[in-house]
Structure 1
Amino acid sequence: MNIERVTVEVLETPVESAYTAAGNQVSSNFHVLARIFTDDGMQGIGFDVVLRPTLVKSMAQTCQELGQLLVGMNVLEIEAARAKLERASGWAGPGGLVNMAIAPLDIAMWDAKGKVLGQPLYRLLGGHKDRVRAYASDALWYSLPLDDLARSAQDHVALGYNMVKLRLGHEAKPEGEVQRVKAVQEAVGPEVQVMVDATESWNEGQAVASGRALQEAGIVWLEDPMSHQNLSGLAHLTDVLDVP
């Protein structure tokens, strides 16, 4: 069960329809894909996703270099492997690009471990349920017109989803954000829960104003309202809003 070889590659997967997310025009998704091969023929696969090509090659190169440090290790010793990779990253890590480069390797080891032991990952991680609720968030971009947004939400519900997540954060006023939520709510009905991801687009004042308006509109989840580095602003928002 020792790791014999690690390979890393970059994959580009074109999207069906181009969209705007987090301020970027997206026509393809980019994946850093790692494969771990063991001496007894097992293969583990892991990848992460990036919405634009910037630094993807750097991530892949970092992943490739770190991956070679796993050769010879037992594929079941995931915590030891991650600690080794973080130590090797030195002052360049363990956050940021290094974390994203380690992620495909970490996932690949978990994949291999589950295959070796013949167990699903939820059980290896201590889970006791074999079902979890899932939400849909594809094709619910802030760049879509309201009619297209509503149709996309209806398509997800037709597939069996009862939760959908919209991207917001680019309307001039809170009322504009609420209008997009209302369009989806009217399209899918009261049994479907609506969540919101503002893609870190607001400043603190905008987050408070829009958060209050969206809370009143009935959203059940507000994600990434402002920069993740604005800890005091996020704490303040938590104090003034009830929605998680």
Structure 2
Amino acid sequence: MVTTLGLCAGLTAIRFIMSGQFLIAVWLVLFAVVVDGLDGLIARRLKATSDFGAQLDSLSDFLNFGVTPGFLVYQMALVPGEKSGGWIFVLVYVVCCCMRLARFNVAQSRAALNGDAKPAGHFTGVPAPAGALMALLPAFLTFETGIDVSAWPTLVELYIGAVGLLMVSRLPTFSPKSIRVPRERIAWVMVGLALVTGIMLAEIWRALISIVLLYAASLLHSAVKMLLNRRRGRP
């Protein structure tokens, strides 16, 4: 049910993109990101996980975090400049998102067959929701600063193409599952999260820009660390 709600949000976002109402569309994608974070948690809490739910979740993610953000960036930043080549980079992003989700499904199936229920301490490549937030950076910049990103179509094209490639990369990336909070500190963490959420809602676009930039910095750190480990002969 929760996954279906996110799917409806993504589909509705496409409707608003087609009518040029990009702000509403971005809010709907952000809503889908929140729903995606909650649906798995709710399913596990209720012990209602299933193969059907997992497949539906992946299909929903492809629409919400692949098709919709790619279409939004194309309509908002690339169509006004009449750069026909921009569609190629959007295709790269969307196809990479699809491949990333397919790879994730295969990995999950293999883990289930092998009886390996222990989650990894990191993701391999940028996960789809994070990729969507990164792809929407041009929109965040427009809403926060008023910059017309369509004036730099080549930069936007290269950027969204790079985000797509990061999703299918083998780069170890941050996973919230790696965070372990002691039971006695959970209350303090919840208070902190509430404060951060309040600050974000007050300055939503600035906060999202900061989150994307910090995440990009973590990717750079991870890439450097991976290269150094390879030189030292470590996995």
Q: What is the TM-score when the length of structure 2 is the normalising length?
A: 0.28
Q: Comparing both structures, which one devotes a greater share of its residues to strand?
A: 1
**Larger gyration radius, structure 1 or structure 2:** 1
- The structure that is helix-richer by fraction is 2
* Higher relative contact order (Cα pairs below 8 Å, separated by 6+ residues): 2
